[in-house]
């Protein structure tokens, strides 16, 4: 219960890494506001949070829309009074070669992955400055550090933007006792990554089982992440043990990128 009675906000919390982060923060003692574009799945996450006898609030929102970001943060403050921890997780992608990406792909991906993260960070930081501090955790990706297996170049660029934003925000918000760090997941078993893997399997004419084996072979530890592996790092970065860590981007990837 190292986060007992802290208040956390997690975006993209309807499934995968976002849901795992929300549940792990609740298990560590936090009350968790959960937001997602999918109203049904975010309600399910809120129920999982409350199973730990923690308070929760489920909000349906598109973090690519700045007005909706303002709305979810306003609701969180109205209901809980403050936000101590913010996990900016919402993200989108699709499997595509660099020559097949369209303007629509670029705009859609950056609208959520870069713009959404920035304006969530900025809006929450306003509340944290007033409250005297807080923890901001951005979910980036090893794609932003040059991972060759990225789903596409636009996605990699959006996650590189998150890593750069993390460094600059940490420098500028540190005087307010706000830490800003990012987590860079490697291959992680989520619905999104499994869809991408299924596309690759079809393109290569192999089974999903064979693609799973091929994917694992490039990971030094020979296993993909579960969402809970990312959530464990998020809990640490939100914990008292990480109070003097800021501006960092931590890989959780089984050793794919040793940096």
Instruction: Indicate which residues carry an active-site annotation.
Output: 155
CB 100 within 8 A of CB 146: no
Please tell me the total number of residues recorded for the chain in this structure: 259
- Pick the closest to residue 182 from 67, 86, 100 (CA basis): 86
Alpha-carbon distance 159 to 136, whole Å? 16
Return d(Cα 249, Cα 117) in angstroms, integer. Answer: 15
Q: Enumerate the H helices of the chain as residue ranges.
A: 16-27, 39-50, 66-80, 103-110, 117-131, 153-173, 191-204, 208-217, 227-238
CA distance 237 to 227: 16
CB contact at 8 A, 219 and 8: no
């Amino acid at each position: 219960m190292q986060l007992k009675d802290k208040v956390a906000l997690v975006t993209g919390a309807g499934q995968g890494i976002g849901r795992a982060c929300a549940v792990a923060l609740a298990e560590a003692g936090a009350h968790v506001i959960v937001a997602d574009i999918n109203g049904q799945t975010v309600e399910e996450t809120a129920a999982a949070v409350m199973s730990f006898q923690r308070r929760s609030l489920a909000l349906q929102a598109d973090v690519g829309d700045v007005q909706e970001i303002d709305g979810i943060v306003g609701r969180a403050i109205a209901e809980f009074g403050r936000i101590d921890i913010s996990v900016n997780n919402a993200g989108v992608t699709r499997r595509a070669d660099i020559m097949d990406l369209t303007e629509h792909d670029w705009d859609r991906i950056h609208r959520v992955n870069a713009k959404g993260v920035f304006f969530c960070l900025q809006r929450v930081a306003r509340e944290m400055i007033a409250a005297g501090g807080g923890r901001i955790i951005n979910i980036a990706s090893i794609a932003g550090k040059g991972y060759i297996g990225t789903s596409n170049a636009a996605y990699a660029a959006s996650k590189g933007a998150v890593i750069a934003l993390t460094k600059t925000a940490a420098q500028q918000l540190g005087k307010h006792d706000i830490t800003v760090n990012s987590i860079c997941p490697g291959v992680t078993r989520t619905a999104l990554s499994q869809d991408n893997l299924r596309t690759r399997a079809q393109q290569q004419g192999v089974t999903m089982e064979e693609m799973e084996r091929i994917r694992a072979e490039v990971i030094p530890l020979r296993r993909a992440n579960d969402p809970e592996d990312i959530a464990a790092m998020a809990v640490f970065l939100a914990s008292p043990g990480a109070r003097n860590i800021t501006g960092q981007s931590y890989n959780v990837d089984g050793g794919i990128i040793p940096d």
